[in-house]
Amino acid sequence: MKKLLLILLPVLFIGAIAGAVWWKYGRAPDSYTLAQRMLDRGDLKSAQIELRNAVRTNPQNSAAHFRLGQVQLRLGDPVAAEKELKVARDMGFDARAVNPLLAQAYMAQGRYKDLLRDFSPQGLPADQAVPLLVMRAMAQLSVGDPAAALASAAEAERLQPQSVDAAIASARVAIARRDFPAAEQKVGRALQINSRSTDALLLKGQLLNLKGDRVRALEAFDAALALNPNLLAARLERANILLINGQDTRAREDVEAALKLEPRSAMGIYLQGVLQVKAEDYTGADASFTKITSLLPRFPRGYFFQAITKYNLGQAEQATEAANRFLARNPDDPDAIKLFAKIELAGRRSTRAIEVLGKAAAGGAADSEMLDLLGRAYVLAGKPEQAVQSMERAAALSPDNADILTRLAAVRMGMGDAVRATGDLEHALELSPAQAGAGEALVIAAISAGEIDRAVVALERLRKAQGNTETVGNLTALIRMAQLDLPGAVATLNETIGQYPDAIQPRINLAKVLVLQDKAGDAQKVLTEVLQRQPTEPTALANMVSLLLGDGKAAQAVALLEGAHAAAPKDTDIAIGLANLYVRTGAARKGLALVDQVLKDQPGNTTLLGAKARVQAALGMPAEARATYHEILDQAPGDVPTRRMLAELLVAAKDGSAAKTVITDGLKVTPGDGALLQSYGSTVYKTDGLDAALASAEQLARDPKNLPAARWLKGDIYMLAGRFADAAAVYAGEMRADSSTTLLLRLVGALNASGRTEQATQTLRDWLVNHPADDMAAEGLASMDIIARRFFDAEAHLQVVLRKRPGDPGALNNLAWVYQQRGDPRARAAAQKAYLVSPTPQSADTLGWILTTDGNAATGLSLLRQASAQIGGDPTVQYHLAVALKDTGRREESIRVLRPIVQGLVDFEDRAAAARLLNDLSRGQ
């Protein structure tokens, strides 16, 4: 039986308390081209479905994996996006398309190095050399070379002893070296030279401020302003201190006065943005910071406040970029470390978070919040032992923090340490007896880990503490669902609803179970009750729209979203969802009018502008769509996905030159970005041909700013051109120069694509001899083992993956299938755990098929219907469904499912078995 290989799958939380949506309807046939057309129409959800089909049909289609990750990112599912993009990267696309962090730190350093390289004071007269030496001293401070800065400033003073600027430069260097006595001496020297030097008075105030003497600092700024009331810098420095002192009203007065003097003042605009952040006016702050995007690096905490702004606006990529830049300059700043970690964890990215938090913890600088964040990062990375160690340290520093104890307990439970987890939760509930989260989290964590028995124990503890509350009823139903006891789940939910008639979540869960039982009509009735109470409840709304579309009731789905929009006209998610539905139902102009209307209340909202551009593209308005994308980039020049979409539109418009300019402009903002380098190579290939693209790749690789991504660009272009043997040769050469897992998997992908499967397999085997714990390589080899039906080898390699990522749903699902093929009774347990960790259509198919072949077709049928509803284009899934239908006495329906796959042109491993079954059923057997 040919089985789709799940390498990286989105981890969807089974805990319905979180309101996760995990079923979709209304699927079209599998087609990458169709998905691209849907993207052009702005129908991201449908495109996602088609792209999933595309990667299942052709798992080696790196472009489909990349597109799928890009779409999932835009749909707000970063976990799934990251996994898909990682697969795409390993096959030929750079993972930095969604994860640009590794290339950002170089940004802040680039211009200063250029200055130091291009301008030398050697041989210049003193009047020319001194200003340059002062400038070099400041540049050297910026690149972290205070010794060189000190030498430059000293030389400037030697050449011109009466230079106020030279003395001030020496003072600034001393401040950077934390040599405050020397700084004071140099400022004093500057004032001796000119007691009315406002620059010296200004620096004196800044120095006093650094020492924490804000009172005397204000006096110095007052003195400078007395000499020159229009001295912009002094006014802004005073505003800065007032802001730090919490005197926001007075600070705002100074800022407003400064902006009247100079409306374009970068510091004035910056302080205005900080005041807006403090007032939680994030839209206003974003507008302010956007005005000074290129100058933001000048402010010590500029990127910090920009990161806060972007984070609160839901602009995850831009928040990550800003936080990364700030952290690169201030690696020991506690606030920066915490903000960076929170943004990374919100994006389901653990590597850099662990690196930054781990450094702080190793240096003894971490407080309980940092250690807690580090523990959560380790959980995300699949390292529960380290997570427990960090959270234990956090709990020791804050023993009365019930939230930390709850999270620690959840990690222990996931590791199977139920005794200690129970103790942590008991302590948490002692600290906060009314806290339902502790017991609830334990139950959900156990279910998510596939540990149903432990979930039952935890639930009983919660029941004793709370009684039969709504939460307890809900969790009981979740356990019933996890046990595949769907009738029991329905009974529990109905009982809970009877006890709590106004409850929302039990009704949402009931609708979910009814769909699993193939009772979509009943599910719609339940969701209607929810939406009558709360017309904008997001989970109910999304599920109801999916059901209506699956039932062919598009007009009702539109009416439902129109009502929700009327109830919450400023809700961006609802507005964009309605606009997309308008496009899907042939009313794209209504979608454009809707987005324009919402933009009137939220001008500059880049999320809405992105939706507008997609609708414009769907309407056949490419010029307008390009203009909208330009508008987004004016506000967010670091938005790589938008920049790439604009480049694609320009290529489609036969304007290759403009497309290249858009990408090169992006590389100036984010030098070395792998996704942009990929786009540039692809653009040159499409517009100028293969030879020109290869030449551009070689040129890009000569620039150190483009490394390491440019190393494999030439091979990627060969892959794009279908010259797989040439791509393999390039990758192999790069491997010999500097091997890595990234290059290894690219090489393997090229070898497979060129038909050299045995060589690809041996390449992975050789690598694992020297790198036995490389889970990515082991995962790739396991996939090839499964294709070749080397099931015992596949099991061994999957175990390598699971040792590093014990809850990986793809590895668990593949292991279940391997067991099933070998007749190993462990198949059901592995499949059930995979489904509980991530109830995807693939895991539903695996578990449903195992149940069916084990004689439990009634339960298997529900799961196979779920899988078929989402990946109905897969003939193997349809065959499984047909068998379950036959085994449950649904002969006619089984025949209807079998005929298209038997009579169709798509070949699949079970086709002969499907034909025999159809023949038997048709003859009445």
pLDDT at 805: 76
Mean pLDDT throughout 334-363? 82
- Tell which residue, 702, 688, 766, has the closest CA to residue 732: 766
Residue 8 has pLDDT above 80, yes or no: no
- Tell which residue, 173, 5, 75, 65, has the closest CA to residue 779: 5
Is the pLDDT higher at 374 or at 418? 374
- Tell which residue, 838, 837, 844, has the closest CA to residue 867: 844
Residue 204 structure tokens = 């004196």
How far is residue 52's CA from residue 772's CA, in Å, rounded to a whole number? 31
Least confident stretch, 134-143, 250-259, 441-450, 836-845: 441-450
Amino acid at 242: L
Mean pLDDT throughout 438-460? 75
- Tell which residue, 221, 222, 192, 228, has the closest CA to residue 204: 221
What letters, b where the CB count within 10 A reaches 16 and e where it falls short, cover 490-511?
bebbeebbeebeebbbbbbbbb
Q: Return the SS3 of 818.
A: helix
Which of 93-102, 452-461, 868-877 is predicted most confidently?
A: 868-877
Residues 6+ apart with CB under 8 A from 355: none
Contact status, residue 374 vs residue 363, Cβ threshold 8 Å: no
- Quick: pLDDT tens for 532-574: 999 999 999 998 998 888 788 999 999 999 999 999 998 999 9
Give me the phi and psi of 899, to 5 degrees please. -55, -50
Q: Residue 472 is inside which H or E element, if any?
A: helix 470-482
CB atoms within 10 A of CB 103: 26
Residue 112 has pLDDT above 80, yes or no: no
How far is residue 529's CA from residue 507's CA, in Å, rounded to a whole number? 8
Residues 6+ apart with CB under 8 A from 905: none
Residue 102 has pLDDT above 50, yes or no: no
Amino acid at 756: R
CATH architecture of 100-194: Alpha Horseshoe (1.25)
pLDDT at 75: 60
Residue 74 has pLDDT above 90, yes or no: no
Contacts 24+ apart (CB under 8 A), 246-249: 248/275, 248/278, 248/279
Contact status, residue 541 vs residue 574, Cβ threshold 8 Å: yes
Contact status, residue 324 vs residue 337, Cβ threshold 8 Å: no
Residues 6+ apart with CB under 8 A from 225: 231, 234, 235, 238
pLDDT at 667: 92
What letters, b where the CB count within 10 A reaches 16 and e where it falls short, cover 428-444?
bbebbeebbbbbbbbbb
Residue 740 structure tokens = 């890595």
* CA distance from start to end of the chain: 24
Q: Which sign, positive or negative, has the C-alpha torsion 98, 102, 103, 104?
A: positive
In the block, tokens 């007749």 appear at: 823
CB-based burial of residue 228 (10 Å sphere; 0-12 exposed, 13-18 middle, 19+ buried)?
A: middle
* pLDDT band for position 876 (cuts 50, 70, 90): very high
CB atoms within 10 A of CB 38: 24
Least confident stretch, 298-302, 378-382, 402-406, 511-515: 378-382
Least confident stretch, 58-72, 87-101, 313-327, 825-839: 87-101
- Quick: pLDDT tens for 393-445: 998 998 988 888 888 877 876 665 544 665 676 677 667 766 657 778 777 76
Amino acid at 717: I
Mean pLDDT throughout 320-349? 83
pTM value > 0.85: no
Residue 265 structure tokens = 């003042």
How far is residue 175's CA from residue 909's CA, in Å, rounded to a whole number? 73
How far is residue 633's CA from residue 460's CA, in Å, rounded to a whole number? 54
In the block, tokens 């009416």 appear at: 559
How far is residue 46's CA from residue 870's CA, in Å, rounded to a whole number? 11
Contact status, residue 85 vs residue 65, Cβ threshold 8 Å: yes
Residues 6+ apart with CB under 8 A from 71: 39, 44, 47, 48, 51, 81
- Quick: pLDDT tens for 739-778: 999 999 999 999 999 999 999 999 999 999 999 999 999 9
How far is residue 896's CA from residue 886's CA, in Å, rounded to a whole number? 11
Is the pLDDT higher at 436 or at 138? 138
pLDDT at 449: 61
Residue 906 structure tokens = 């798509």
What letters, b where the CB count within 10 A reaches 16 and e where it falls short, cover 146-166?
bebbbbbbbbbbebbeebbbb
Is the pLDDT higher at 110 or at 356? 356
The full set of domain ranges for the chain reads 100-194
Q: Return the SS3 of 838.
A: coil
Mean pLDDT throughout 589-611? 91
What letters, b where the CB count within 10 A reaches 16 and e where it falls short, cover 649-688?
bbbeeebbebbbebbeebbebbbbbbbbbbbbbbbbbebe
CB atoms within 10 A of CB 913: 13
pLDDT at 329: 83
- Quick: pLDDT tens for 89-98: 676 555 444 3
What proportion of the chain, given as a percentage, has pLDDT over 70? 87
Kindly state the DSSP code that residue 30 receives in the 8-state scheme: P
Contact status, residue 420 vs residue 413, Cβ threshold 8 Å: no
Amino acid at 98: V
Ramachandran area for residue 398 (φ above 0: left; ψ -120 to 50: alpha; else beta): beta
Residue 825 structure tokens = 């009774």
Give me the phi and psi of 380, to 5 degrees please. -60, -35
Supply the Cα-derived Rg of the chain in whole angstroms: 31
What is the length of the chain? 925
- Quick: pLDDT tens for 168-227: 999 989 988 888 899 999 999 999 998 888 889 999 998 888 888 889 999 899 898 888
Kindly state the DSSP code that residue 794 receives in the 8-state scheme: H
- Quick: pLDDT tens for 882-914: 999 999 999 999 999 999 999 988 888 899 999
How far is residue 395's CA from residue 904's CA, in Å, rounded to a whole number? 61
* pLDDT band for position 620 (cuts 50, 70, 90): very high
How far is residue 91's CA from residue 719's CA, in Å, rounded to a whole number? 9
* pLDDT band for position 314 (cuts 50, 70, 90): confident
pLDDT at 412: 76
Omega into 708 within 30° of 0, i.e. cis? yes
- Quick: pLDDT tens for 683-717: 999 999 999 999 999 999 999 999 888 999 999 99
Give me the phi and psi of 846, to 5 degrees please. -60, -50
